[in-house]
Amino acid sequence: MRPLRLDARIERWPVAGAFVIARGSKTHVDVVVVELAEGDRIGRGEATAIYYHGESAESVLAQVESVGEAIRAGAGRGALQALLPRGAARNALDSALWDLDAKRAGMPAWRLAGLATPQPLTTAYTISLGEPVEMEAAARRASGRYPLLKLKLAGEGDDARVAAVRRGAPTARLIVDANEAWTGRDVAAEAAQLAAHGVELIEQPVKAGEDALLDGVVSPVPLCADESCQDRTDLARCVGRYAAINIKLDKAGGLTEALALAAEARASGLEIMVGCMLSTSLGIAPAFLAAQGARWVDLDGPLLLSKDRADGFRFEGGTMHHAEARFWG
C-alpha cells in the first residue's frame, strides 16, 4: 500500500440569509474538508464543527492534523475509531476513508457498506426561529415545494409559532426542534398543544444530560433525542424516554459509527431520524446513505446555503437525488 497524501483545509460557505435557532444566528458555515490521495484516487470528506461541544473549524482541523502521520501510514476506518473521539474531525476522516476505500474496490460506497441501492429521499426543509409572522411568511414561501417542514423553537411562544407555520403551510407535514428549550416546562402539555397543529415529531425538548426529566412523561407526539444521543454509548439513557434518535455524522464521528448506531437503535425499538449540520453536498453524501430507511430525513444543509458545490445533489423541492452527485461513490 502506498503512503497516502493528506490535505485538510477550512472552507467558508455563505448561508442564504441567516440561519436562526434558539442558540443564535449564522450567516456562514466553516467546514473542514479532508482529501486523501493514493495515486490518482482521491477520497473526500467534509465535516462541520459541533459548536455546542466547544468545537470550532480550527480545532477540528487541528484534530485531523494530529493523526495525520497515522493516516498517511495506512490507518484505516477501524483504527480511526480509536485514534480520535466521536466528533467532526473523525467524521471528516472517516468519510474520506470510505470514499477512498470504495474507489480502491472499484465500487460505490453504498455497496462497500453492504447497503441496497440508494433511493431518492424527501428531506425536511428548516424554518428558522423568528416571530410568528416571520415564520408564517417563510412557511408560505416553502409551502407546496417542501412537503416536510422542520421548525426551530425556543420555549416561550412556541404554540403561536407552530400555529403561524400551519397557517402558512396548511398541508405540510411538520416536525419541530425545541433545541433543549423546554427544560422546566410541562413537556406533555407543550406537546399536546403542538399535536393539535399536526406536529409529528419533537426533537430534544430538554437539556442533554437532564433526560431523566422525561421519566413518566406521556407525550402525544413522539420525542426524539438529538443532543442527548451522540453515539452508541448514549442509547441506554434514551430508551424508554425517547421514541426516536437523530443521527448526525458530525456527532457520531462518521458513517462507520452512524451505521452501527442505527442498527443498535432499531434493535432497541427506537425510530431513526438522520440529520445534518449546515454543510455542502459533500458533507451530506455519507449521511444520505445512513438515511436510507430512516423514518425522518433532515439533510437540507445545502438548501440553506447561498450556493452548493457544483457536483452536488440535485434537489427537486425536498426530494434529493444522489445519482447526479459526481463524488463520493
Catalytic residues: 152, 248
Nearest partner of 326 among 8, 91, 42, 39, judged by Cα = 42
The DSSP bridge pattern shows strands 319-321 and 296-298 to be: unpaired
Dihedral sign (CA 182, 187, 189, 192): positive
Pairwise CA distance, residues 97 & 42, whole Å: 9
Residue 74, number of CB atoms within 10 A of its CB: 12
Residue with cell 443521527: 247
Pairwise CA distance, residues 284 & 280, whole Å: 7
Q: What are phi and psi of 200, to 5 degrees?
A: -110, -5
Q: Using CA atoms of 47, 50, 54, 60 in order, give the dihedral in degrees to the nearest 10.
A: -10
**Given strand 5-21, what is the order of strands in its sheet?**
5-21, 24-38, 41-48
Pairwise CA distance, residues 177 & 207, whole Å: 12
Q: Which helix (H) or strand (E) holds 96?
A: helix 88-105
